[in-house]
Chains A and B, each alone.
Chain A
Amino acid sequence: MAGISPETALPATEPPSKRRRVQDDSVDSTPSCFESPDGAPQSPAPNTSRLPDQSLSIRHANLHAKPNNHHRHDQIPIIPNYQPHLVLQGHTRAVSQVRISPDGRWIASASADGTAKIWDAATGAHLETLVGHMAGVSCVAWAPDSNTLATGSDDKAIRLWDRVTGSPAHAVAHRENPGAAAGLVMKGLTGKAAAARRARTGVPGEGVRGGRTGRGPLLGHHNYVYCLAFSPKGNILASGSYDEAVFLWDVRAGRLMRSLPAHSDPVSGVDFCRDGTLVVSCSTDGLIRIWDTSTGQCLRTLVHEDNPAVTNVCFSPNGRFVLAFNLDHSIRLWDYVSGAVKKTYQGHTNKGFSIGGCFGVLTDADDGAGEDADDNGNIRQQAFITSASEDGDIVMWDVASKAVVQRIKGAHKGVCFWVDVHGSTMASAGQDNLIKVFRHRPRGGRLKRENGVGEGIDGVNGDDEQDGTPDAAMADEELQRRIGASEASPGLHVKEEQP
């Protein structure tokens, strides 16, 4: 993989002058965007000359597919172009999930090494290591205020953390035994050291089942906690577990509010819709269920005819659709009201692992055209779908045309488990213990794009121009190839086994 190497890209080595926008709504994109901030060998010149070519081909593809009506037709669509930005190193085992905070400033990662870490999304600085779980951490979720973090682990516990202090997000209980406190609040320790310390002190089983006093974890699940989601108000936490149930927790009191008898297999994904009234859950039993948050009743069940295992699910930004990740190399967009699949996205490899992705939304501001684009005061938005792939790639699709609009080749060695997008920032987690951060860069100047001549030159995101090709036919071929290649891979592995 060209472009970045973990050694050269440690966050600390990044010069401060290269720090860039923290939030996606800052508009200006400086020329320095075209340099690789992590100091990787990448010259700006071939980069810019490559871009016009790529975008031309993409526009071409869009014409083929379908006129895109997400934006005014006289404008060039915003096409994702995420380029390597940072590599975050610190976890000692595979990173199972990575999430960018709702305000876009922080990145949280969960790892099989039993810790979760918080990073600064802009600089990549490591801020906290959350130590407390006694087994691998599978999932992490941000509260909407970006100040609280929930982690779920194979030790059956869910813990809430204060982002600022890195300690459990709860007042101290009087009866708490000091050993536990020491085990809980070890900040800044990483990896093995923390694990070793944890092993020595041992964290006693503080907290209570189905409830919590003091700052114990949320206990109640009978098996590994596998997925988490906060409600938009932050007052409810949904958790899915290998015990096949979805629990809804009262976040304030740490009390189990409701248990949904959800599935007949491990629950692999949960999400809240934008107004918090619906919860979606999915399972490897192939079912996707929509629940009413307030009554706990199942409102709809979605099953695909072929009944492929579903390993992750999320609502569309407007809450009208559900995106489901199936173990047949497909991501399906469901209209849950009519109960029909509207789109199937293919082109990535997903056969054995529970990999994740999400919707990404880019605006003109992200595309470096903030000043001139919003002539009507409307901010143009473009949604795309992104997913990790078992071959280590990150793949992005246009929502309407189903065409691959960008493929980041070999983002991770081994499996890429998770991708999360927040505006122009993308974070991915992989089997190679690394978290990578990517930044969207507008595809060259608009003027250049019109008459740009350029030959495909190896950039960071691919080894030849075929990779960026969005053409549906090509994607199909690619898919066939990958399916063939992965045929031999073993059965269901979910993320990372614990020893």
Chain B
Amino acid sequence: MNLLLSDDYLLQDYPENITNTIRSGHSTCVRFNRKGDFLASGRVDGTVVIWDLETMGVARKLRGHSKNITSLSWSRCGRYLLSACQGWKAILWDLQTGKRHREVRFRAPVYGAELHPWNHLQFAAALFEDQPMLVDITDYADVRYVLPSVPKRPHLETDAALKEKQAKEDAKHMTTAIVYTATGDHLLAGTTKGRLNIIDARTREIIYSEKIASGVITTLRLTESGKELLVNAQDRIIRTFIVPPNLSAPNLDPDTIQIPLEHKFQDVVNRLSWNHVAFSATGEYVAASTYNNHELYIWERGHGSLVRMLEGPKEEQGVIEWHPHRALLAACGLETGRINIWSVTSPQRWSALAPDFVEVEENVEYIEKEDEFDIHPQEEIQKRRLDQEDENVDVLTVENGGGPGEDVDAFRMPILFNLGESDSEEEFVNVGLGTLRRKSPGDQENDEMTGEERAAGKKASGSGRGRGKKK
């Protein structure tokens, strides 16, 4: 609704400055929900924290893991969150109650677990030194299906020795990343040998496999539409591919599948490798956090050109996430575990402060209207004014069905009041660009939440000021 009044959409569509730093424990991974109003973060101690992006405050804390959280995945409705940890466990949380809805134990640490895009009771998990799994948690007793990492070989070899050798080789082939396609009919999996597999989620067989990188594939990500695929591999190259649109066609011939490479992004000068990658909301940009370096790189996908290197705090950034529809980027600092948020800031338009203010590029001479200073009797003006109000107004109908994320019976996160008190660990929030005044002095009872409100920062403050003071 604020879009009616602001021209913020004219602003550039990739983030520029650090605007917030939020922290709860040491976060290692973050994920936005579909609507983009909440950010889930997973901590080293296994706690999952849900942040409200509107208030930049904690909305929920979920305790159930005891090891480092490795991945998070939201359900489409935003009510369920799947978290996976190094402690061989994945938990599906119900955010309505804050309790675990399902819990699945594996026999290996989990690299990543992703929910089916349409069915929150099904997910795929990539496991450490084990074959990936498709897990159905419709019932309390979960049903697991092992997924292949290598395509079936044609049974031509009759030589037992060769067969055994192949089997051994195949056993070393592990899946390190797995995602669902947009429809949920297929899975895209990346392997230790740099292969990309397309797995039919129904038959659980590899229908296509190709070597796309020379190193271990570490991250696979799709755009919201599911048409573009982003691959990060240990060969220092980030690649984008076009996902075949006809994957879900009923008469799909696996032999015709092609996954054309679109771009390769790399820093050949500095020979950087990339910690984590993310697509922007529309897939127009690609962002990456750098290994052993503080910067975030943003490329424009259309031309494949580097558009921006984001300076942040002097800290290497790990997992990064692009907001589902805003120019906002969240990244976890590796050392401190802080979540840094970059976005764009628009200046106050002074013309908004009074109805007759206009912002002009240069001075203009005011030309008085013909009747501007005519004097009419007050009653006549009043009457004329009232007579003019014959336009029909509609105060009920919501135009264009509301903005993004305005579903009628969407899930609503409950408002909890007793957060933090149960937590001995300090926790604080900085609103980097808040126009807050410091409250009057003489309050002895400041706790860690106060004192964060700093003097009105009119200009986009740099990164260094995002630190809060700690008591």
Chain A residues close to B by CB (< 8 Å): 66, 69-70, 143-145, 148, 160, 169-171, 173, 175, 207-211, 213-214, 220, 222, 231, 233-236, 250-261, 273-278, 290, 292-303, 316-321, 333, 335-337, 339, 341-344, 359, 361, 381, 383, 399-400, 402
List the A side residues contacting B373 at CB < 8 Å: none
Residues B396 and A381 in contact, CB atoms below 8 Å apart = yes
Residues A148 and B415 in contact, CB atoms below 8 Å apart = yes
Residues A301 and B353 in contact, CB atoms below 8 Å apart = yes
Tell me the complex Cα distance, A160–B1, Å.
Answer: 28
Which one of B152-160, B445-453, B463-471 is at the interface? B445-453
Residues A252 and B52 in contact, CB atoms below 8 Å apart = yes
Could you say which of B57, B353, B418, B453 contacts A170, with CB atoms under 8 Å apart?
B418
Nearest CB of chain B from residue A324's CB, rounded to whole Å: 13
List the B side residues contacting A297 at CB < 8 Å: 346, 348-349, 352
Tell me the complex Cα distance, A299–B446, Å.
Answer: 33
Chain B residues close to A by CB (< 8 Å): 1-6, 37, 52, 54-59, 345-346, 348-349, 352-355, 385-386, 389-399, 402-403, 406, 412-421, 429, 431, 434-437, 439-440, 443, 445-447, 449-450, 453
Interchain residue pairs with CB less than 8 A apart (26): A170-B417, A171-B417, A207-B445, A208-B443, A210-B439, A210-B443, A210-B453, A231-B54, A233-B54, A235-B52, A235-B55, A235-B57, A235-B413, A252-B57, A253-B419, A258-B431, A259-B435, A278-B5, A301-B352, A319-B1, A320-B394, A320-B399, A321-B393, A333-B395, A335-B393, A341-B389
Could you say which of B352, B393, B443 contacts A300, with CB atoms under 8 Å apart?
B352
Tell me the complex Cα distance, A175–B353, Å.
Answer: 44
List the B side residues contacting A160 at CB < 8 Å: 417
Residues A252 and B55 in contact, CB atoms below 8 Å apart = yes
Tell me the complex Cα distance, A70–B395, Å.
Answer: 10
List the B side residues contacting A260 at CB < 8 Å: 435
Nearest CB of chain B from residue A256's CB, rounded to whole Å: 6
List the B side residues contacting A316 at CB < 8 Å: 395-396
List the A side residues contacting B414 at CB < 8 Å: 145
Residues B385 and A344 in contact, CB atoms below 8 Å apart = yes
List the A side residues contacting B355 at CB < 8 Å: 301-303, 339
Chain A contact residues, majority secondary structure: loop
Could you say which of B54, B354, B391, B418 contacts A171, with CB atoms under 8 Å apart?
B418
Tell me the complex Cα distance, A432–B164, Å.
Answer: 94
Tell me the complex Cα distance, A255–B435, Å.
Answer: 14
Tell me the complex Cα distance, A339–B355, Å.
Answer: 7
Residues A343 and B393 in contact, CB atoms below 8 Å apart = yes
Tell me the complex Cα distance, A300–B417, Å.
Answer: 33
Residues B393 and A333 in contact, CB atoms below 8 Å apart = yes
Residues A256 and B453 in contact, CB atoms below 8 Å apart = yes
Tell me the complex Cα distance, A318–B446, Å.
Answer: 41
| Residue on A nearest B436 in the bound complex, by CB | A259
Residues A210 and B450 in contact, CB atoms below 8 Å apart = yes
Nearest CB of chain B from residue A72's CB, rounded to whole Å: 14
Question: What 10 pairs across the A-B complex have the smallest Cβ distances?
Answer: A171-B418, A316-B395, A210-B439, A277-B2, A250-B55, A299-B5, A211-B450, A209-B439, A208-B445, A250-B57
List the A side residues contacting B446 at CB < 8 Å: 208, 211
Tell me the complex Cα distance, A208–B450, Å.
Answer: 9
Residues A400 and B435 in contact, CB atoms below 8 Å apart = no
Tell me the complex Cα distance, A208–B440, Å.
Answer: 11
List the B side residues contacting A335 at CB < 8 Å: 393
Nearest CB of chain A from residue B456's CB, rounded to whole Å: 9
Nearest CB of chain A from residue B330's CB, rounded to whole Å: 15
List the A side residues contacting B353 at CB < 8 Å: 298, 301
